[in-house]
Amino acid sequence: MTVQKINLHPILLEDPTKIYSSNKFKARIYKMACLINIVAICIFSVYLAYFFGSSVTSLGLFQFLSAIIIPIFGFTYSKFYFRQQNCLITASFYQKVINEIQVLNQQPVENIKKFLTEFKCRPMEVKLSLNAIAHFKVRIESQKKFYREAQEINQTNTDDINLKHKLQKTAHNIYEKEVLKAKLKAAELFYVISNPYGNKRLGDIGKAFTLSFSKRMASILSGQDYYFVFNDQIKQERKKSGLSFREVDDNSISDISKLIFNF
């Protein structure tokens, strides 16, 4: 049994509670680092103003040091803030996964199988794949949420051509960065649920490349449109560069999973 557990897909061996707690803790650390950074900027500015501001001849040196050092503090602040936000996003995701696991643990196995059947997914063993099923449900909900958001933006009535174009670009960005990415992650989880002893990850096969609305349209018109690009080795093996925007958008999660993971 221990050997079997070791051979499970990495996603099935994750501890969502630990990942959630770890990211919440790291988010607090980064938040503290941001605050320290702001305080450091204020202290440094006051110190320089006091030290150099009294002398007109030192004004140039004051401006020179400020122009060099303050942007450095600003860069480190933005870096810490970006990491804090990433940790919060990850923590929020795993909180949802934890909630889904609790719900799944209270459901009959047949109900879970019925839900998965809607996506043509046949789990080898439901209890074995509970982590992946919880992940899958969260990704599906995320995809639906952002799809509705993109649709609402697209359906906004306006006679302003410029505003309509901006709304179209916004909806497209949500579709590329949220809807289709969630669909790809769901396709990965489909593979894990169907093959709990598999070891492939999405990153092992390729990478998603998001484009702006204008660049995506240009790539489609040129016949060189790829949303999910295979790694070099996969390209050689399959004689194919990847999956287009339209392929990811039009195909079902089960079909995308089979196209990517080749099972």
Total count of domains within the chain: 2
Host H or E run for residue 124: none
Backbone angles phi, psi at 66, to 5 degrees: -65, -40
Q: Which of 73, 84, 67, 68 is nearest to 32 (CA)?
A: 84
- The Cα 171–Cα 146 span in angstroms is 9
| Residue 40 sits in the same domain as residue 126 | no
Q: What is the pLDDT of residue 2?
A: 45
| Residue 135 sits in the same domain as residue 261 | yes
Q: Give the model confidence (pLDDT) of 95-105 as tens digits.
A: 999 999 999 99
- The Cα 56–Cα 162 span in angstroms is 50
Does 229 reside within a domain? yes
Of 105, 139, 160, which residue sits at a domain end?
105
Q: Give me the percent of the chain exceeding a pLDDT of 70.
A: 85
| Residue 12 sits in the same domain as residue 91 | yes
Q: Where residue 261 falls among pLDDT bands split at 50, 70, 90?
A: very high
Q: What is the pLDDT of residue 39?
A: 79
Of 47 and 137, the structure prediction assigns the larger pLDDT to 137
Q: Give the model confidence (pLDDT) of 38-70 as tens digits.
A: 777 777 666 666 665 555 455 555 555 555 666
Exposure string of 19-37, with b = 16+ CB inside 10 Å and e = fewer, is bbeebbebbeebbebbeeb
> Which residues does residue 229 pair with via DSSP β-bridges, in sequence order?
207, 242
| Residue 125 sits in the same domain as residue 222 | yes
Q: What is the pLDDT of residue 3?
A: 42
Does 85 reside within a domain? yes
> Between β-strands 242-243 and 206-208, what pairing exists: parallel, antiparallel or unpaired?
unpaired
| Residue 15 sits in the same domain as residue 78 | yes
Query: What is the span of the domain harbouring residue 158?
Result: 107-263
Q: Give the model confidence (pLDDT) of 207-256 as tens digits.
A: 999 999 999 999 999 888 999 999 999 999 999 999 999 999 999 999 99
Of 90, 105, 120, which residue sits at a domain end?
105
| Residue 153 sits in the same domain as residue 262 | yes
| Residue 123 sits in the same domain as residue 50 | no
Sign of CA dihedral 208, 213, 215, 221: positive
Q: Which of 251, 258, 256, 122 is nearest to 196 (CA)?
A: 122
| Residue 54 sits in the same domain as residue 142 | no
Does 1 reside within a domain? no
| Residue 173 sits in the same domain as residue 248 | yes
Q: What is the pLDDT of residue 36?
A: 86
Does 2 reside within a domain? no
Of 105, 120, 149, which residue sits at a domain end?
105
pTM summary value: 0.84
| Residue 113 sits in the same domain as residue 191 | yes
